[in-house]
A and B are shown apart, each in its own frame.
Chain A
Amino acid sequence: MPDMNDTNTDKNPLVEMRDIHVSFGGVKAVDGVSIDLYPGEVVGVLGHNGAGKSTLIKILSGAYQADTGQIVVDGKEAKIENARDARDNNIETIYQNLALADNLDATQNLFLGREFVDKFGFLDDAAMEHKAREVLHRLNPNFKKFTSPVSALSGGQRQSVAIARALLFEARVLIMDEPCAALGVHETKMVCELINKLKHDGLGILLISHDLHDVFDLSDRLHVMKNGKLVGSVRTEDVTHDDVLGMIILGKMPEHLLHLAGPGATNATNTQTSETPL
């Protein structure tokens, strides 16, 4: 494992992805990447567009399948072939486009695919709305629009719905793809508070972003990818913004952390640094 000097070593990781490979028609989208996530931890997965971070995460959420590699959930190898398998392993994904049906209301979206039905098989809308009110109230006490189509909601409210959707079904691992894209300042703050709250509840959260600033303050650790390979995994407190930018753009590990370099890190002897490898 690239990073074992973590405060969480006493716990088992919630999820590990080991040596994942995916190719699309000869292009290696993900090339031997390993990442992990512990309970009560927020981990950022960073990289440019095309670095392979979205592909990697979609393997975990069941949208794609790895050519080779292992996914380990709670110490046991898990087979994740579709979104339903991911859910069965308590892994929930909140997608960039939010994956909400705009024409349905918050309650209908929350329960999509897992509706409550009565003994005749008819939808029990009142019971669902009741539960929806409970869950959303916990996340966002100001949320009132349970019966308007979600197209009428603000970006932050839509995020609340998407996150509530994950929580409703007891997610332990939450994958958030660009959680703050297209959100205003105030709403971004709201989502940040939400993420911190979930972290304290013991969830493991993976944040996917190409924008360092979105995730730096929120994350405990960062996995950085470039050209389908892992540049390295670092603890946020050990690095500066510039260190991370160097990792994203140049694929270069900060000098004091070179021992943590992943397979995607630019070979230290070829970099412009005059330092010798440690």
Chain B
Amino acid sequence: MSRLLSKMEVDRRLIGLAFVLLIIWVGFDIASGGRFITPRNIFNLSVQTASVAVMACGMVLIIVTRHIDLSVGAILGVLAMIMGVVQTDFLPQFLDYNHPMTWALTLLIGIAVGAAIGGIQGLAVGYLGVPAFIVTLGGLLVWRGSAWWVTQGRTVAPLDQNFILLGGGIEGTIGATWSWIVAAVAIVAIIYVAIMDRRRRLAFDFPVKPIWAEYTNTIVKAGLVLAVITTLNAYHLPTRAAERILENKGIPVTPENIEISHGIAIPLLIVALVAIVLTVVVKRTRFGRYIFAIGGNPQAAELAGINVKRMTVAVFALMGVLCAISAAISSARLQSAGNDLGTLDELRVIAAVVIGGTSLAGGVGTIYGALIGALVMQSLQSGMALLGVDTSLQSIVIGLVLVLAVFSDKYFHRRYSDPTA
């Protein structure tokens, strides 16, 4: 089995994680009498995970460069407040309420401020040499306090109608047709990348995976895409919401057309986009290569001519940008921005990243691992909520799972990793 996997060049850690996720899902499904693995719950999971998942992608890069960011939850809070005020108080001075540009301008301003906040913290870490733990611990307090100052503690609501689509919800999805189109594009891309990679290796006469392994890999990936999209499309809008939509369009309601699919939620689409872009950055650009080089041996990176200080600023600024995207998702989902938004998110994000196989010692980590880590965390939480487990007990279980995950990863890695592989 293990030889088979290595021939297929599959990340064993990924298999382990997927297996853990499967056990959690099946376990909760049995315990809840079949209420966990349903289109409705999977859809909700995808929306609930999105905010933490986006930040986890950035946290991978931070931790790979041997730093940490404890301030992401607080940055999310202050950015959500700023974006809230921008779209409800600032932009309406120039644009109409619910103007189609409002959401985009709001998000852009949020991203710019996020990059600035992250950049400032990066400067303190990179150029002033203050440990990231301290800088971002200070940041946690500073930005959470700032979130209160934006409106003197007042919650900002209601938000722009287009902006709240970023949070999912009944209208914040792309529907069945577009979901199928996304699936088709994804599958074509999977096949294209596999073919191009193989061609390139063959052109240079490098060893390639056996052809059956290529087929298996591609079929598994494409199958997963199809399974996810089918599930999300199988979740229909509540009857009353569907009726309202049809009435607004002036279409008579019939038993057939009342079944309107949710499809992919916009926050899930954002997660996918962020993850794909960052994976390309990590694997295919100098920036990504240098992040890992710095994590592996900062001295070597410096000697190789990499500007480690500037890279540190860039990585923290990128984290700030992702906090802005997460802030948009979570405030849009609640349709309001309160100054306690994102509280304790730093811990959820770090836990997701660590469960996803990123080493706190730096140099090792993957984006997809962090995504699955985030999904594991959220599945545990949602599953326990579904079973009516006390919130206090939920915290205890999640805390224990985090420690167990890191222990088992270390244990199995030491035991089964082949140093010559």
Contacts and interface: CB of A to CB of B under 8 A. Distances in A.
Chain A binding surface SS class: loop
B400 interface: no
Interface residues of B, number: 29
Nearest to A87: B305
Contacts of A101: 292-293, 295-297, 300-301, 363
Contacts of B289: 104, 108, 112, 115, 123
Given A115-B289, A126-B204, A99 B419 contact: no
Nearest to B201: A126
Nearest to B299: A99
B94 interface: no
B185 interface: no
A83 interface: yes
A129 B305 contact: no
B4 interface: no
Contact of A122 (B285, B300, B306): B285
Nearest to A115: B286
A102 B296 contact: yes
A84 interface: yes
Nearest to B421: A148
Contacts of B306: 112-113
A123 B285 contact: yes
A203 B107 CA distance: 57
A102 B363 contact: yes
B293 A104 contact: yes
Nearest to B288: A123
A112 B292 CA distance: 11
Interface residues of A, number: 33
A104 B305 contact: no
A108 B419 CA distance: 18
Contacts of B201: 126
A139 B182 CA distance: 49
A25 interface: no
A151 B419 CA distance: 8
A256 to B, nearest CB: 41
Contacts of A115: 286, 289
A113 B297 CA distance: 13
A129 B300 contact: no
A101 to B, nearest CB: 3
- A100, A103, A145: residue with the most chain B Cβ atoms closer than 10 Å: A103
A103 B295 contact: yes
A98 B203 CA distance: 32
Interface string A123-154: 10011011000000000000001001001100
B206 A99 contact: no
Given A99-B297, A101-B296, A112 B304 contact: yes
Given A97-B297, A103-B295, 5 more contacts: A83-B305, A113-B301, A123-B289, A130-B206, A152-B419
Interface of A: 63, 82-84, 87, 93, 95, 97-104, 108-109, 112-115, 117, 121-123, 126-127, 129-130, 145, 148, 151-152
14 contacts: A83-B303, A87-B305, A99-B300, A99-B304, A102-B296, A103-B292, A112-B289, A112-B300, A115-B289, A122-B284, A126-B204, A126-B206, A127-B204, A151-B419
